[in-house]
């Protein structure tokens, strides 16, 4: 793989110490190549969120390495890491985390303001247009549906043109039809713009939008499927859940 994707090598993340210590990630090695769409699945508590947080530079592994576009994150200072995150990483969550007092366009412009840049109106409108919300720029979150709010969150994550877009159950709070609209949008970004997307999901249908599904069990990678349909993914999930501990 070229060095412009994300590469995790032997990443371990422990929380706490002594008898209450939890190993959330246990020697995970994975690469997410540029322009690919990866889904991460696994039982609750298997380390999915921790994996995303470590890959996105929001959390630091206890050991192992994480490289984004060839830059090793684990040795960066907090300041350099924050700068890299702002420039190269986009993140959306299950709860959309929009600021309720700001309009859609103000929410979308926020990352640029935080980076000390003056957002250009045309740039903000263009990214809102890309997520199909060109006509909702002046609306506040409470005036938008759940699917529209998540699309504002997507636009906010995309305004800095990140190398990688991470989603931690981005469709988890949406009904299936609205969830599918968001997934179609993500798929289109990968296919049209070469966006790299890594998404945690519980839903085999959501995962089937990805090129590849990586399964985590007890903080370890436990197989993967490529180009699988929802039925195959669901069958794999059932098999993992049935496996003895
Ligand atoms: P998932 O997203 O797959 O449900 P998580 O990555 O959130 O799993 O959590 C993996 C394990 O790490 C769980 O046992 C969880 O309780 C533990 N964990 C996650 N974050 C923390 C934390 N900040 N402090 C202590 N334990 C944590
Ligand atoms: Mg989680």
pLDDT at 149: 95
From atom 23 of ligand 1, which residue's Cα is the shortest distance away?
15
Dihedral over Cα of 228, 231, 234, 238: its sign: negative
- For the CA of 168, the nearest atom of ligand 1: 2
CB atoms within 5 A of ion ligand 2 belong to 48-49
> Would you call 169 helix, strand, or coil by DSSP?
coil
Q: What spacing in Å lies between the alpha carbon of 15 and ligand 1's midpoint?
A: 8
Residue 1 in this model has a pLDDT that exceeds 50: no
- Rounded to the nearest angstrom, the distance between the alpha carbon of 156 and the centre of ligand 1 is 26
Ligand 1: residue whose CA is nearest its atom 7 = 49
CA distance 142 to 113: 23
pTM of the model: 0.94
Going from the Cα of 22 to the center of ligand 1, the distance in angstroms, rounded, reads: 8
Q: Are strands 220-226 and 212-217 parallel, antiparallel or unpaired?
A: antiparallel
Which ligand 1 atom sits nearest the alpha carbon of residue 13? 12
Residue 95: CB atoms within 10 Å: 13
Q: What distance in angstroms lies between residue 42's CA and the mean position of ligand 2's atoms?
A: 9
Ligand 2 centroid to residue 104 C-alpha, Å: 26
43 Cα nearest atom in ligand 1 = 3
100-149 pLDDT, tens digit per residue, is: 999 999 999 999 998 888 889 999 999 999 899 999 999 999 999 999 99
CA dihedral 160, 166, 168, 171 (to 10 degrees): 80
* CB neighbourhood size of 186 (10 A): 23
Q: Which two tokens stand for residue 199?
A: 């998404």
CATH of domain 4-94+163-242: 3.40.50.300
Q: Cite the DSSP H helix spans in 89-138.
A: 104-114, 121-130
Structure confidence at residue 216 (pLDDT): 97
CA distance 162 to 171: 20
Q: Which residues are 244's β-sheet partners? A: none
Pocket-forming residues, ligand 1, beta carbon under 6 Å: 15-16, 22, 24, 42, 44-50
pLDDT band at residue 3 using 50, 70 and 90 as cut-offs: low
Q: Which ligand is nearest to the CA of 17?
A: 1
Domain boundaries of the chain, sorted by first residue: 4-94+163-242
Counting residues of the chain whose pLDDT is more than 90, the rounded percentage is 84
Main-chain dihedrals φ then ψ at residue 204, nearest 5 degrees: -55, -35
In which order are the strands placed within the sheet that holds 196-200? 89-93, 164-168, 196-200, 37-41, 212-217, 220-226
Residue 97: left (phi > 0), alpha (psi -120 to 50), or beta? Answer: left
Give per-residue pLDDT as tens, 34-56: 999 999 999 999 999 999 999 99
Residue with tokens 């929009």: 98
Q: Can you give the pLDDT at residue 244?
A: 64
DSSP state of 13: E
| Structure confidence by residue, pLDDT tens digits, 223-245 | 999 999 999 999 999 998 887 65
* C-alpha 4, offset from chain centre: 17
Please give the Cα distance from 49 to 26 (Å, whole number): 14
């Amino acid at each position: 793989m070229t060095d412009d994707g994300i590469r995790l090598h032997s990443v371990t993340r422990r929380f706490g110490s002594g008898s209450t210590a939890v190993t959330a990630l246990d020697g995970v090695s994975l690469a997410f190549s540029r322009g690919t769409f990866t889904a991460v699945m696994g039982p609750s508590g298997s380390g999915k969120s921790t994996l995303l947080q470590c890959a996105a530079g929001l959390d630091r592994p206890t050991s192992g390495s994480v490289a984004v576009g060839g830059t090793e994150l684990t040795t960066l200072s907090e300041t350099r890491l924050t700068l890299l995150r702002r420039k190269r990483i986009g993140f959306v969550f299950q709860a959309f985390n929009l600021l309720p007092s700001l309009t859609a366009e103000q929410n979308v412009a926020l990352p640029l303001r935080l980076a000390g840049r003056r957002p250009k109106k045309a740039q903000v409108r263009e990214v809102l247009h890309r997520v199909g919300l060109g006509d909702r720029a002046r609306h506040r979150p409470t005036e938008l549906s759940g699917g529209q709010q998540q699309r504002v969150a997507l636009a906010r994550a995309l305004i800095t043109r990140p190398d990688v877009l991470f989603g931690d159950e981005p469709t988890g709070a949406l009904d299936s039809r609205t969830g599918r609209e968001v997934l179609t949008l993500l798929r289109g970004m990968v296919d049209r713009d070469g966006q790299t997307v890594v998404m945690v999901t519980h839903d085999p249908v959501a995962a089937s939008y990805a090129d590849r599904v990586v399964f985590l069990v007890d903080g370890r990678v436990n197989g993967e499927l490529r180009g699988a349909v929802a039925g195959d993914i669901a069958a794999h999930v059932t098999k993992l859940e049935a496996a003895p501990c």
